[in-house]
Structure 1
Amino acid sequence: MSTTQTRIAYEFIKRRILNGVFKPSQKLTENKLAEEINVSRNTVKKALMMLEKENLVYVETNKGATIKSFTLEEMLNYLEVREVLEGLIGRKAALNITDHQLLQLEELYNEMSTLIKQNSFDEYSKKNRMFHQIIYEASENPEAVKMINTIKTQLNRYYFRTILVPGRKEQSIKEHGAILKSLQSRDPVKCEEAVKKHVMNLRELIQGNYNYLV
């Protein structure tokens, strides 16, 4: 089967894992997926193996695939690693960021401020990703960014619901404002602190609301 069809199957399944259509610990049936995606069962099998490498599913011989479910301890450990990496990214971004990138961040921040007041969480999430992507690009450290994105991909389905926790939306926009201010001042120490605090607060939020988020 073509690589293109494998990629289509991979994207189809991954998208449903990340947006919560496929739930943690849910069993996936290869035949059913093959019919739904209109590809062969072998293509689905290859796609599931790709997702297993990303730690989104686990595949057992003769038992099929199951959506990976993370324990609270695993999630906190991942976020602890992410906090360190994001701090490094923030420090380097403060030193390398361009005037154009700062303008882009300011525009995004203003849009995010409006969206959060309107409770437009889907759009806020999109702008949020764009905001961080600019910082990642400014850091000029693609290796660290790749590791961060791996962690974010694995935990994305949990992140999405954190904004619904009372008080989180106000805290989130405040944290992004602090990150923007530190970048505008091109202060690597303050930026590292602001970014790490952003992830630390997320970790504490997940720890205190784990049963709601899973």
Structure 2
Amino acid sequence: MTTKTMSQADVVEAIRGEIRASRLIPGQRLVEGELSELLGTSRATVRAALMDLAKEGLVERVANRGARVRVVGLDEALHMAEARLVVERLCVQRATERLSDAQIAEMRALLERLGELARSNDIQGFAAATNQIREIYLDAADQPVARGIISRLRDQMAGHTYRLTYRPGRPQATLPYWEALVSAFARRDAAAAGAAVEAHVANVRETMRSIATAPSILERGYGKFG
């Protein structure tokens, strides 16, 4: 990636970013020597960064095999989705009371874009636009503790999220959720916004179960930084 010496915090963020982007997959070994060469830092710095990531639940140590990206089983992922529902519902209800007219207008524009992306089956573009909507209402909610919990859960579920994102027809299936959520925000209807999140998470849990034994599509791009 670079020859510039990276700090421990930089290494943590670099590896976390690769896991979040699903370029490092659950179960993939994290070899200190390889990472130190790729990231331009010492093995000691990499080792300390991996320990930090283990505390976050993103990395695990395996006896006699070193570190690897932590494998989150289906049951644990379903529990995470349930916990995230509680926290995210809090955020959307707070956001409903705090969103500015400009933020709502921005979400409406993004929603229109989502429709175009769903029709063209632009999966990556659709995912990016939904993340933009989420960032807007999380900013408005102004609940940093809840936001941190959501971020950690999303990172830990990255492998499952990737499979959900790239499931055929996923943009078309989830577009009604985003329509319901943005409409609730526009009406300043906190109960409807919470109900939209609840319906979406229920769908996520059901879909996760349905693809749990499906052939993995996670091979694409894995094992490489950049």
Alignment size in residue pairs: 213
Separation of aligned partners in 2, 1:109 and 1:181: 10
Partner SS state of residue 65, structure 1: strand
Identify which of 141, 144, 147 aligns with 2:143: 141
Q: In 2 relative to 1, CA 110–3 (structure 1 residues): closer, same or farther, beyond 3 Å?
A: same
Identify which of 118, 121, 124 aligns with 1:122: 124
Q: Report Cα offsets for 1:74-103 as digits up to 9, x if no partner.
A: 000000011111111122211221101101
Separation of aligned partners in 2, 1:12 and 1:74: 25
Q: In 2 relative to 1, CA 106–8 (structure 1 residues): closer, same or farther, beyond 3 Å?
A: same
Q: In 2 relative to 1, CA 144–171 (structure 1 residues): closer, same or farther, beyond 3 Å?
A: same
Match of 2:75 in 1: 73
Give 2:204's aligned amino acid: L
**Structure 2: segments with no counterpart, 5+ residues:** 219-226
Please give the TM-score of this superposition, normalised by the length of structure 1. 0.91
Q: Which structure 1 residue ranges, 4+ long, deviate > 3 Å from structure 2? A: 60-63
Match of 2:109 in 1: 107
Match of 1:59 in 2: 61
Match of 1:192 in 2: 194
Give 1:36's aligned amino acid: L
In the TM superposition, residue 28 of structure 1 has moved relative to its aligned partner by: 1.7
Match of 1:174 in 2: 176
Match of 1:152 in 2: 154
Please give the TM-score of this superposition, normalised by the length of structure 2. 0.86
Partner SS state of residue 60, structure 2: strand
Partner SS state of residue 69, structure 1: coil
Give 1:196's aligned amino acid: E
- Alignment pair present for 1:209 and 2:211: yes
Separation of aligned partners in 1, 2:130 and 2:159: 15
Separation of aligned partners in 1, 2:159 and 2:138: 21
Q: Could you tell me whether the CA contact under 8 Å between 1:83 and 1:200 is conserved in 2?
A: no
Match of 1:27 in 2: 29
Separation of aligned partners in 2, 1:146 and 1:205: 25
**Structure 1: segments with no counterpart, 5+ residues:** none
Separation of aligned partners in 1, 2:147 and 2:141: 9
